[in-house]
Amino acid sequence: MTARARQSAWIALAATLGLVFPSPRNSWAETLPKPSASLLRSLNRFEKDLQLLDQTLPNPVPGFARAKGKRVATDQVDGTPTSVLASLAPPAPGAIPSSIEAVRIQRRVRLSLPMALEVAVRNDPELAEQVAAVRERQGWLTSVRGRFWPELSLLAGSGYSQRRTDSTAWQGNEGIYPAGSPFLVRTGGWNQIQQNLQVTTAGLGLNWELVSFERNAALAESKDELKASQQRYANRLRQLQLDVSLAYYGLQLAEQLTRVRQAVVNNDAIVRGEVSALKRSGLVPRLDLLRADAALQQSQYRLEQADALRLSRQRQISNLINVPFDVTVTASEAVTLQPPWPLDLQQTLIQGFAQNPQMLALQAARDALINQANRRAAELLPSLRLFAQAGYGEVISDEPLINLNGCCGATHIPALYSQSADWAAGLQFRWRLFDGGVTSGAASASRAAAERTEQALARERNGIRQRMEAAFFDHRAALRQIVASRSSYAAAREAFRDVRARYQLGLADYTDVSQTIQLLTQTMESVAESITLANVSYAQLLRELITVPNQPGAPVNLPLVLPQPAPMLPSAAGAAPSRPNSARTAG
């Protein structure tokens, strides 16, 4: 303790005991300005703000587990969940706002994270795109399955035609037919004939592929493509859960920073006003006023940063969950620490690789390409087809113009009506022996694409492991940071109470108060940031392990915590499930 501090302590003690000691007129105690009543009121208001802010900073119990029944914020929304979902219907896919009123924010809707996830599942365009892709593949699979059934066709037709011919015999057939024969044509004879025909036909056709190696490979290819699209749908659900969680946690942090920095700006404004009054009274130098101005401007600068971040994060989550253009989403919950990750790193990796939609989608895509190569190669193999056809026809013909001059008169009938019926059936065998390498080249290309997809599978596997390991280490570090930041915050709170008491007794000035509040603000922000980092890393780990449906239309439940610890592997039977090192760190 310095001599100046010891002197101040003795003066305070003497004043408390009612003792009076003579002191020089220019002693240090007389140079301190009297405590400002308005600044004391500001400090009391700041203390109340701290108590409110304290409620948003959870106190972790040993092991970082959340205490039961200690949630400080409840899920609140504007209206019932049903009415909120109805009011947050997505804009039409092709809707483009064209007026200022269409994009002006008219409503601010407070959503909890589970409600935001539910809205996202209903509104997300990319998820709807994956649903349409699954339906598309289901349609193609139905189309290929239809090739195993016979094809039955109805054939019908009707037509009308007219023809006129002019014929001249350059050389007749005298000598071939006797004179007077109706088939006799004289040299130079001619005729003019106009013929009208009306033809009507109807029939049934049957076509049935009995043996086709290409058809079987096409069916297997379609099944694998359907599996790939279903796994991509499931993977989008996982990614949507992560995207919405990250956006919501970021919004919570931004709102928390805004509240903290607003309280600091309010206090710094009071301090600046008091210093300005003291400067006018000649009690403090100009340097103190400049410092107070700089502190206030810096606090306002940081508040503007936090406010801009808050507005940006509101629009980020609003656009992500695809709400109407005139709605912005705010968080109804303060920053809350999720429980620690319940698995160790090795269990996390094994569980993350098991039934992972990203890897399953690539595996199915690879199998589909292999079957595509088999289908194209099978086009060179023989196929056997059954065909049958039966039909009926009517023909009406008339020749309204018949001009004969020594030519061709015996074969013309002025009007004729005829009917016919026929049928045919048989087997068609087809074997493509040579096509110049068209089929083999296509099959080779499909196999190369399958190899490319297999390498993409290896790359995705390594990427999944890297993401899980990075998130696991970040989560463990964040839990340790929470311990450090909470300790720092507790010390800063005690320092604030102490400096407020010292200022009330006249043993400290506004500079000490401002610096202490600045330190307290930094520790509060570090607590909120470390909690957000822990939640973000938890969500990143959860993204790889949660179970989601791969069938569109099935109920979707996107949990915020791992529902239950995964069962131990057979090789680890008998070993107690371990928890992350955060519990040891907390102790």
Q: Is the pLDDT of residue 418 over 50?
A: yes
309 touches 282 (CB < 8 A): no
Asked which of 21-30, 51-60, 201-210 is least confident by mean pLDDT, the reply is 21-30
- pLDDT the model gives residue 306: 93
Mention every residue, 6+ apart, whose C-beta is less than 8 A from residue 36.
274, 277, 510
Mention every residue, 6+ apart, whose C-beta is less than 8 A from residue 464.
352, 353, 356, 358, 359, 544
Q: How confident is the model at residue 36 (pLDDT cuts 50, 70, 90)?
A: low
Asked which of 50-54, 295-299, 332-336, 441-445 is least confident by mean pLDDT, the reply is 50-54
* Average pLDDT score over residue span 18-37: 46
* Average pLDDT score over residue span 483-511: 84
DSSP string covering 509-573? -HHHHHHHHHHHHHHHHHHHHHHHHHHHHHHHHHHTT----SSTTS-----SS-SSPPPPPGGGT
Tokens of 235: 């993977």
This prediction's pTM: 0.77
Percent with pLDDT over 90 in the chain: 43
- pLDDT the model gives residue 402: 83
User: What whole-number distance in Å separates Cα of residue 12 and Cα of residue 498?
Assistant: 14
Burial class (CB in 10 A: 0-12, 13-18, 19+), 329: buried
Place of tokens 């796994």: 231
User: What whole-number distance in Å separates Cα of residue 548 and Cα of residue 236?
Assistant: 10
Which comes out higher in pLDDT, residue 70 or 422? 422
Mention every residue, 6+ apart, whose C-beta is less than 8 A from residue 17.
none
Asked which of 84-93, 115-124, 187-196, 562-571 is least confident by mean pLDDT, the reply is 562-571
Within 239-382, strands assigned E span 327-331
Asked which of 2-11, 28-37, 232-241 is least confident by mean pLDDT, the reply is 2-11
- Write out pLDDT tens, residues 251-289: 999 998 998 888 888 888 888 887 888 788 787 788 888
- Write out pLDDT tens, residues 43-69: 776 676 666 666 655 554 333 333 333
Q: How confident is the model at residue 7 (pLDDT cuts 50, 70, 90)?
A: very low
77 touches 115 (CB < 8 A): yes
Measured between alpha carbons, how far is residue 391 from residues 156, 197, 203, 321, 388 in Å? 9, 19, 4, 60, 10
Q: Is the pLDDT of residue 127 over 90?
A: yes
* Average pLDDT score over residue span 317-338: 90
- pLDDT the model gives residue 548: 92
In degrees, rounded to 5, the angle at the alpha carbon of residue 427 between the alpha carbons of residues 421 and 433 is: 135
Whole-number average pLDDT of the chain: 82
- Write out pLDDT tens, residues 352-375: 999 999 999 999 999 999 999 999
- pLDDT the model gives residue 283: 75
Tokens of 505: 């007794």
Q: Which residues pair with 193 in a beta bridge?
A: 165, 402
Asked which of 38-47, 219-228, 361-370, 425-434 is least confident by mean pLDDT, the reply is 38-47
Q: Is the pLDDT of residue 333 over 60?
A: yes
Q: Is the pLDDT of residue 107 over 80?
A: yes
- pLDDT the model gives residue 479: 93
User: What whole-number distance in Å separates Cα of residue 136 and Cα of residue 527?
Assistant: 49
Q: Is the pLDDT of residue 413 over 70?
A: yes
Name which of 162, 187, 161 is nearest 174 in CA terms: 187
Tokens of 211: 């043996």
How many C-beta neighbours within 10 Å does residue 476 have?
19
Tokens of 325: 């253009």
Q: Is the pLDDT of residue 72 over 60?
A: no
**To which H or E segment does residue 153 belong?**
strand 151-168
Tokens of 362: 């690539």
- pLDDT the model gives residue 27: 40
Contacts 24+ apart (CB under 8 A), 571-576: none
* Average pLDDT score over residue span 436-463: 92
Asked which of 165-174, 224-233, 343-352, 451-460 is least confident by mean pLDDT, the reply is 165-174
- pLDDT the model gives residue 172: 83
- pLDDT the model gives residue 539: 95
Q: Is the pLDDT of residue 390 over 50?
A: yes
Q: Which residues pair with 164 in a beta bridge?
A: 194
Burial class (CB in 10 A: 0-12, 13-18, 19+), 548: middle
Q: Is the pLDDT of residue 545 over 50?
A: yes
- pLDDT the model gives residue 322: 92
Name which of 229, 290, 323, 179 is nearest 550 in CA terms: 229
- pLDDT the model gives residue 55: 60
- pLDDT the model gives residue 188: 85
Q: Is the pLDDT of residue 448 over 90?
A: yes
User: What whole-number distance in Å separates Cα of residue 323 and Cα of residue 175?
Assistant: 98
